[in-house]
Amino acid sequence: MTWRYSNVSFVVPGFCALYKSEILKDLEIDTPGLLIEDFNLAFQIHKRRLGTIGYSPTSIGWDQHPDNLGDYWGQVRRWNIGFFQTVKTNGFFLSFFYLALAVFSIEVFLNAILVLFLPVLILYLVIFNIPTLQSFPLVSGFFNAYAAIGPFKNITFVDLFIWLYIIDYGTTVFIGLTHKKPQFIFYGLFFFFMHYVTCLILVSSIIPGFFGRSAGRWVSPTRRDEVVRI
């Protein structure tokens, strides 16, 4: 998305962004009702054809990540609702940017559905591989219902192990080693839990993002005192 020939980035990180002064007059920074401006400014740049969004790998910025689950939930939920609000506010406009956005959104949504259904899918696969469990009426009812309408029925335990563990965790290990951050090898064991929470936040943000009403106000989490050493 950041490739210079595609130029389909859908967000400009607000805490470390620079804009050409000549396009600021054409941007609506304080669009009413939006919880976040980062997405909206990027959408406006594409919709109004104001320029290219670029990233510099030499830039350095300091920020604070949430240090507890409550703050993480609030921060990510605000981002998600803000994204859906931005899509609704700007509407559809024919462009390569919107095509890339649609493909990315569908991919992320389908992945979220798979992750959220994973516990139910695993239960279905356990019953499928242990037929004697189907002798219990409640278990049999669940199995038959999921077999009729449940998604991802053709996925096997081998598929789950390869895609959700070998590839996902293997990528985390690779990044940890290549970026000289071996702690990722340990933290990566718990990434799936956070991924599940993130998917839950995403799906739960769709309705308030598209159909809810917002004053555009939000409460910032408590900031920690830190000393930056260069």
Can you spell out the DSSP letters for the chain? ---TTT-------GGG----HHHHTT--TT-TT-S-SHHHHHHHHHHTT-------TT--------SSHHHHHHHHHHHHHHHHHHHHHH----SHHHHHHHHHHHHHHHHHHHHHHHHHHHHHHHHHH-GGGGGSHHHHHHHHHHHHH-S-TT--HHHHHIIIIIIHHHHHHHHHHHTT-THHHHHGGGHHHHHHHHHHHHHHHHHHHHH----S--PPPPPPP-----
Copy the structure tokens of residue 10. 């859908």
For residues 156 and 228, the model is more confident at: 156
- The verdict on residue 8 lying in a domain is no
Supply the pLDDT for residue 222. Answer: 74
Predicted confidence at residue 90, as pLDDT, reads: 92
Query: Is 2 inside a domain boundary?
Result: no
* Contact assessment for residue 27 and residue 182, using Cβ atoms and an 8 Å cutoff: no
Is 3 part of any domain? no
Which pLDDT score is estimated for 46?
A: 93
Q: Is residue 157 part of a domain?
A: yes
Mean pLDDT of the 104-111 span:
92
Q: Report whether 9 contacts 2 (CB < 8 A).
A: yes
Q: Is 127 a member of any domain?
A: yes
* Arithmetic mean of pLDDT, 18-31: 88
- Average of per-residue pLDDT values in the chain: 87
Q: Which domain holds residue 106?
A: 14-56+66-211
> In the predicted model, is pLDDT for residue 47 greater than 80?
yes
Specify whether the CB–CB gap between 58 and 66 falls below 8 A.
no
Domain-embedded: residue 219:
no
User: What distance in Å separates the CA atoms of residue 115 and residue 214, rounded to the nearest whole number?
Assistant: 29
Residue 230 lies in a domain: no
Tell me the percentage of the chain whose pLDDT exceeds 70.
Answer: 98
Tally of structural domains, the chain? 1
Q: Quote the CA–CA distance of 169 and 188 in Å, as a whole number.
A: 6
Single-letter amino acid, residue 160: L
Q: Is the pLDDT of residue 83 over 90?
A: yes
Task: Find the mean pLDDT for residues 129-139.
Answer: 87
Q: Is residue 1 part of a domain?
A: no
